[in-house]
Amino acid sequence: MNWQKNVKKLIMVLGDVSIFYISFYLAIFFRLGFYFDPKIFSLGLIPFSCLFVFWLLSFSFNHLYETEYFRPFSRFIKLIFWATVINAILATFLFYLMPEAWRTLFNLVLGRISVVKVTLIGQEPETSELKNYLIKNKFLGYQIVSESDDFSIDEKQGKADIYVISDTFKNKNWDEILLKASESKAVLILLKDFYQDIFYKVPLRLINDHWFLDNLKSEQKKSYEWGKRIFDICGSIFLIILTSPLWLLISILIKVDSSGPIIYRSLRLGRNMRLFKIYKFRTMVKNADQLGPAWTLNKDERVTKIGKILRKLHLDELPQSLNILLGDISFVGPRPVEEKLARDFNIKIPYYKLRHLIKPGVVGWAQINHRYSASLEDDVFKLEYDLYYLKHRNFWFDLVIMFKAWRIPFEIQSH
């Protein structure tokens, strides 16, 4: 009988360990998306493994590997509750309340963490931005060993693994530079490319017309576009059927709350600059566009009472499933901008027109990574994320964006 009990305990322990590591992998997946970095995974593997040991001990102390404590069910739930509380406190203590002490202990016990040494060459605003970000976020695994206006393999602070070269850096001896880099097994990378790898957006100031010719080749994504359209049709039909009871309830609440139409229609620019009408449940008072700016303000008084709830829960966007079915927009893509604003941005923001090379979407990469637009500067930042999506778009990336959509801040949005 004892051996049977031990086998059960072993199975439960192995099950817990498996769930821990699967959860750890999924956490990195949802945080980093389709660009899964093995280096970041390995950096987190050891500290989280130590945490998992404490969690297993906590389960053991709370008798969760002893089947005789599983009855009555109320006692089992109580044990689970206290084990979860203890584990949450342990995780919070180790990773939030004493992060520096934890890192010190980790380094002393488990040795020095392997990092990638980086040398920054050239002076650009993006260079300083990268430097500050990498210093602040050491968990990414990069260490700035030097900065220079010239190229040299042997730096005083130590030879680098990666040399990030400004796009404006000029040197007549590129053949010698490449030979030295090859000999030292160092990686040379342009600033705009390294910037994209770190921030997941395209630095608008560093690109030119040639960048688009090299990176936005739509003919290479025809199979992806076909697959995406099939997914949009099936998904929109399913969503309409699933949420149809809500449509009636929301319509009644809108009419009771304020006068005006139930559905708000707005002209937007879509793929290839084509005009279309987007459908949303009305969340503002009638003729709101004549009472204030095109951008929705913080605590905008034009938003109705029921409109605030619809916006917070994103239920105002349910009618856009009709736009998806009609082919005006997709589930994933750059957010469609009102016609007047879009034409204004096309003039004021470089390359803004090129976001219209693809179909807009209900949720986009820019929407996940940047707050709601309230100024021209915000839309410049969002364009950098949109261009990154244009370059890297694929079905896997779309799936990641949809999974991450729940992280979009519940803030006031454009009507």
> pLDDT tens digits for 283-320?
887 766 655 555 555 566 778 888 888 888 888 889 99
Q: Does 116-199 carry CATH code 3.40.50.11410?
A: yes
* Contact of 393 with 355, CB cutoff 8 Å: no
pLDDT of residue 239: 92
Using a pLDDT cut of 90, give the percent of the chain over it: 16
Query: Stretch 3-10: mean pLDDT, rounded?
Result: 66
Report whether pLDDT(380) > 70. Answer: yes
pLDDT in tens, 32-48: 555 555 555 666 676 77
Q: Taking a C-beta distance cutoff of 8 angstroms, is the pair 226, 395 a contact? A: no
- The Cα–Cα gap between 352 and 381 comes to 11
Query: Can you read off the two tokens belonging to residue 133?
Result: 């970000």
pTM score of the predicted model? 0.68
Pick 272 or 104 by higher pLDDT.
272
Cis peptide leading into residue 293 (ω within 30°): no
Average pLDDT, rounded, for the chain: 78
Q: Are 397 and 361 in contact (CB under 8 A)?
A: no
Domain with CATH 3.40.50.11410 in the chain: 116-199
When mean pLDDT is compared across 127-141, 290-304, 334-348, 365-379, the lowest value belongs to 290-304
pLDDT in tens, 58-84: 777 776 767 666 677 777 777 778 777
pLDDT category of residue 372 using cuts at 50, 70 and 90: low
Q: Is the pLDDT of residue 408 over 70?
A: no
| Token pair belonging to 301 | 């008084």
More confident residue, 106 or 57: 57
pLDDT digits (tens, 9 = 90+) for 200-246: 899 988 888 888 877 776 556 888 899 999 999 999 999 999 999 99
Q: Per DSSP, what are the bridge partners of residue 267?
A: 277
In the prediction, which pLDDT does 154 show? 57
pLDDT of res. 190: 87
